Amino acid sequence: MSNSRISYSQFLCLFFVNRIVMVLTFLPIFNAPPKNQDVWLSVVFMYPFSILASLPLIYLCSMFPNQTFTSILNIIFGRASTIFTVLYIWFFFHITAIQLAQFVEFMATAVLPETPILFFIVTMLIVCIYALQKGIEPLARFSQITTFITLFSFAIIMIISIRFFDFSSLKPIFEKNISHPIVGGIYLCSLSSEIITIGMINPYIVKNKNSILKDMTKTIALAFLLVDIFYLAITVLVLSLFGYTQASRLSFPFYSAIKVLSVAEFLERFESLHMAVWIMGIFLKTTYFMYILLIVIQELRNTADNFAYAIPFACVLAPFVFYIIPDFLSLDRFMSYRYFTLYSYLFIFFIPLFTLIFAKIKLRLKKR
């Protein structure tokens, strides 16, 4: 596996595709607070929370520009960091399995119900392993292509769907009170498990050492802004077409919305386009998280090559995906705001924040 480096713009593309991919099908906000047409406000509130949640990692990256987050943990906590590293191995492994499970769920439910799910898992893992062998730089280049295709195709879909937009579906605004959409925003932010990858990809980014904080914040802010704009447009489109009650009962609201879109009742069935973009995205996300998982293992084991762990981990992943999806509802329940919010925040926000505070204290004590 090559240890080539990527630019900020490539990182932005990686981040954007990774975050938007789940929005394109599952649109999880429809099952989270405020549980009414105010869900679009949750998407708006997601933006500041996402930036805030990223700040501890961005600070840590500027303090340790050539270290991954797990190496930073080692520097700060010494031997005790092994516990955190193992926890993170679990987290990345789990998130990769969730991505695969969601891919399988979508394909087996909406597109190819008769195809055995083992076929999806194995084919996806084979392609992922091939991509892992190439390293982060080709993956980042692929993300640039995917970002362009995603932005272009969804811009077309949004233009097509302008006549379907019905802003009366968003009324009344603040039906309950402002706190519900805020809770929704916090939940949506928790789904951004990509935040932790800021810390993991940190040493692989080519950067100007004098302006790391500024550049990184700018990249993340822009990536989340892009995500938020698309997320908002998708949410408003789904609300306009189906209304909240119907949309909340759909397994794949955006996919269902695309299925009913048409241009002058002549050009229709855009779902194939959606599927192509989505599969590209899910492949990228799975590979990206697997790559990060391998980096952490490599650091823990202190070995030269991390690709050696790719095939063994892929072999463990396949049965694990079966384990976490006995049925669609189990995964859906786990990904709901009741369970996933706290689970995710622990890894993407609380541990990095705790590390940052500890690092600052340690630095001050050293200065004294």
Nearest approach, Cβ of residue 258 and another protein (Å): 11
The overall longest dimension of the chain from CA atoms, in Å, is 74
Structure tokens at 210: 């004098």
Which of 160, 221, 259, 353 binds another protein (CB under 8 A)? It is 259
Which of 78, 114, 209, 366 binds another protein (CB under 8 A)? It is 114
Nearest approach, Cβ of residue 219 and another protein (Å): 38
Please, which residues have CB within 8 angstroms of residue 143's CB and are 6 or more apart in sequence?
A: 10, 13, 14, 16, 17, 284
Beta bridge partners of 6: 205
Which of 51, 87, 111, 160 binds another protein (CB under 8 A)? It is 111
- Please work out, in degrees rounded to the nearest 5, the angle formed at the alpha carbon of residue 146 by the alpha carbons of 287 and 268: 120
Which of 78, 79, 113, 266 binds another protein (CB under 8 A)? It is 113
Site string for another protein, 141-170 (x = CB under 8 A): ---------------------------x--
Nearest approach, Cβ of residue 276 and another protein (Å): 15
Pure H helices in the chain: 8-23, 39-63, 69-77, 81-106, 117-134, 136-160, 179-190, 195-201, 212-248, 253-260, 271-301, 310-324, 328-334, 340-345, 351-367
Looking at 60-68, 140-148, 189-197, 259-267, which segment touches another protein (CB under 8 A)? 259-267
Which of 175, 308, 322, 334 binds another protein (CB under 8 A)? It is 175
Are 217 and 53 spatial neighbours (Cβ–Cβ below 8 Å)? no
Are 47 and 224 spatial neighbours (Cβ–Cβ below 8 Å)? yes
Site string for another protein, 215-254 (x = CB under 8 A): --------------------------xxx-xx--------
Q: Which residues bind another protein (CB under 8 A)?
A: 109-116, 119, 168, 171-172, 175, 241-243, 245-246, 256, 259-260, 262, 265, 268
